[in-house]
């Protein structure tokens, strides 16, 4: 049973905003924006350094100590670049699209709790380390994430070019596929916590973080959040090898920088949501949380734990980018519709049944879900990696020589099909003729000697 301390007069949330006024909300909003912009600069530098380490190269090391100012230098470079607008573009939507992407990305942190109530230094004023909260805060987060994709779709459509349009269409299919799996994984948290308020969900994880009893939901969410942010191996809307730069192909200068900024802010957003809903939020890890009646869960310590967890998930983004290749589009859709959504839906039913049994029998729900989650993950892994008999190569039945065909018969080159081969080139024919002529000359000379 979760232990909640609801705000007087505001049922359904655990944080108390009764002492906050307009100036408090304004200062908090400004601090959140500064935090996100600073975190993006650090995340870009962090990603480059980590990927460089994985690829055995130095990475950024010129601008500032350890290259810390490289991200700032890149931002200034983009700011000073020529701003080009495509003639075929719908100019109003073309300019509006990157702003939509960034604006929606900035909204998520409004309901993310950095910690419990904190006391402002040199004053007696206490306020929650959170801008605001309400009983359906997680639905608000999902709505902001869904609206953010309109920036990508409109940006690709308004560019008046083929590659951006293809990238925006891919992004639409990607969001529909993975937003559904992400939403189903979060519903299990709502069932266990009994609330959709972020502060109350954190409060419900006093004894056990939800990632352990809801392990399959956590795995589904982690995979889905990589797809939601268009990161490798799911960066199909901006696949460089196929679509140049996808929906951002026709953008330059600061308009390109807005999209780039939105991508990294979204990485921070989904990492913060995973921290809040599955990893205990701002709560200290065990055994630190049990020291001296939870002294590390008070004051400014919780903000440190929140940032450590969030940056651990950001490291996972970088690690995945440095180790995995881009998936094919059909594999990507298969993973979303045939694996993640059925697993998330089945796990949701199992959690609901477990909570229902708890009402009628003395069942340890958390232990039951932990065991069931491990079994479910093993089964899904076995099914995913089990070899497909239908795709095994058929054994060769004979040594038939492949037939030659004219690759330019239709006026343009055509690759050979199975059982066909290209005729030797003119150069190869001359080499073969010279070799056979030399061999014939040697044979003739040996006959004359004999």
Same domain, 147 and 223: yes
Same domain, 415 and 332: no
Same domain, 433 and 284: no
Same domain, 236 and 383: yes
Per residue of the chain (450 residues), give pLDDT as tens.
Answer: 344 444 454 666 767 777 778 888 898 999 999 999 999 999 999 999 998 988 888 888 888 788 888 888 888 888 888 877 788 778 888 888 889 989 999 999 999 998 888 888 877 888 888 888 888 889 999 888 888 888 888 888 888 888 888 888 888 888 888 888 999 999 999 988 888 888 899 888 888 888 888 888 999 999 998 888 888 888 877 777 667 777 788 888 888 888 888 989 999 999 999 999 999 888 888 777 777 766 777 778 888 999 999 999 999 999 998 888 888 888 888 888 888 898 899 888 888 888 877 777 776 676 777 777 777 777 777 776 776 665 555 555 555 566 666 766 666 666 777 777 777 777 777 877 787 777 666 666 666 665
Q: Residues with Cβ < 8 Å from 297, sequence gap 6 or more? A: 116, 282, 283, 284, 289
Residue 8 lies in a domain: no
Residue 124 lies in a domain: yes
Same domain, 244 and 379: yes
Question: pTM for the whole thing?
Answer: 0.78
Residue 336 lies in a domain: yes
Same domain, 436 and 321: no
Q: Which domain holds residue 436?
A: 404-440
pLDDT at 2: 43
Helix (H, G, I), strand (E, B) or coil at 284: coil
pLDDT at 40: 92
Residue 51 lies in a domain: no
Q: Which of 205, 156, 333, 17 is nearest to 8 (CA)?
A: 17
Residue 323 lies in a domain: yes
Q: How many structural domains does the chain have?
A: 2
Same domain, 373 and 422: no
Same domain, 254 and 133: yes
Same domain, 271 and 414: no
Q: Is 134 exposed, middle or buried (0-12, 13-18, 19+ CB in 10 A)?
A: middle
Tokens standing for residue 421? 């081969």
Residue 206 lies in a domain: yes
Residue 326 lies in a domain: yes
Phi-psi region at 424: left, alpha or beta (left = phi > 0; alpha = psi -120 to 50) = beta
pLDDT at 205: 86
Same domain, 194 and 109: yes
Distance CA 324, CA 93 (A): 35
Residue 249 lies in a domain: yes
Same domain, 206 and 267: yes
Same domain, 417 and 345: no
| Run of H or E residues at 127 | strand 126-129
């Amino acid at each position: 049973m979760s232990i909640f301390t609801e705000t007087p007069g505001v049922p359904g949330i655990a944080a108390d905003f009764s002492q906050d006024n307009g100036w408090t909300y304004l200062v908090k909003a400004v601090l959140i924006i500064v935090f996100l912009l600073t975190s993006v600069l650090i995340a870009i530098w962090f990603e480059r350094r980590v990927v460089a380490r994985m690829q055995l190269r130095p990475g950024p090391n010129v601008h500032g100590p350890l290259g810390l100012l490289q991200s700032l230098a890149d931002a200034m470079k983009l700011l000073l670049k020529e701003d080009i607008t495509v003639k075929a573009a719908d100019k109003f939507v073309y300019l509006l699209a990157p702003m939509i992407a960034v604006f929606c990305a900035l909204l998520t942190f409004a309901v993310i709790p950095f910690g419990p109530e904190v006391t402002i230094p040199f004053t007696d004023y206490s306020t929650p380390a959170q801008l605001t909260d309400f009983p359906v805060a997680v639905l608000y987060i999902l709505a902001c994430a869904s609206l953010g994709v309109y920036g990508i779709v409109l940006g690709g459509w308004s560019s008046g070019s083929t590659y951006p349009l293809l990238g925006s269409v891919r992004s639409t299919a990607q969001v529909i596929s993975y937003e559904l799996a992400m939403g189903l994984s979060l519903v299990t948290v709502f069932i266990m916590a009994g609330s959709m308020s972020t502060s109350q969900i954190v409060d419900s994880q006093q004894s056990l973080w939800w990632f352990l009893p809801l392990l399959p939901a956590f795995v589904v969410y982690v995979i889905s959040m990589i797809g939601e942010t268009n990161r490798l191996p799911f960066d199909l809307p901006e696949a460089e090898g196929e679509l140049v730069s996808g929906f951002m192909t026709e953008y330059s200068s600061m308009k390109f920088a807005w999209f780039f900024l939105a991508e990294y802010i979204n990485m921070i957003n989904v990492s913060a949501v995973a921290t809040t809903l599955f990893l205990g939020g701002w709560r200290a890890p065990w055994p630190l949380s049990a020291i001296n009646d939870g002294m590390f869960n008070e004051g400014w310590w919780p903000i440190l734990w929140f940032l450590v967890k969030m940056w651990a998930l950001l490291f996972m983004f970088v690690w995945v980018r440095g180790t995995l290749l881009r998936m094919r589009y059909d594999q990507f859709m298969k993973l979303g519709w045939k694996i993640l959504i059925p697993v998330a839906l089945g796990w949701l039913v199992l959690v609901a049944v477990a909570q229902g049994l708890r009402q009628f029998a003395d069942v340890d729900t958390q232990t039951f879900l932990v065991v069931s989650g491990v079994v479910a993950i093993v089964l899904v892994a076995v099914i995913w990696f089990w070899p497909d008999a239908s795709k095994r190569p058929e054994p060769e039945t004979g040594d038939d020589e492949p037939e030659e065909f004219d690759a330019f018969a239709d006026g343009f080159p055509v690759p050979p099909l199975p059982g066909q081969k290209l005729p030797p080139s003119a150069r190869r024919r001359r080499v073969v003729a010279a070799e056979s002529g030399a061999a014939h000359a040697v044979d003739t000379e040996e006959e004359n000697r004999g």
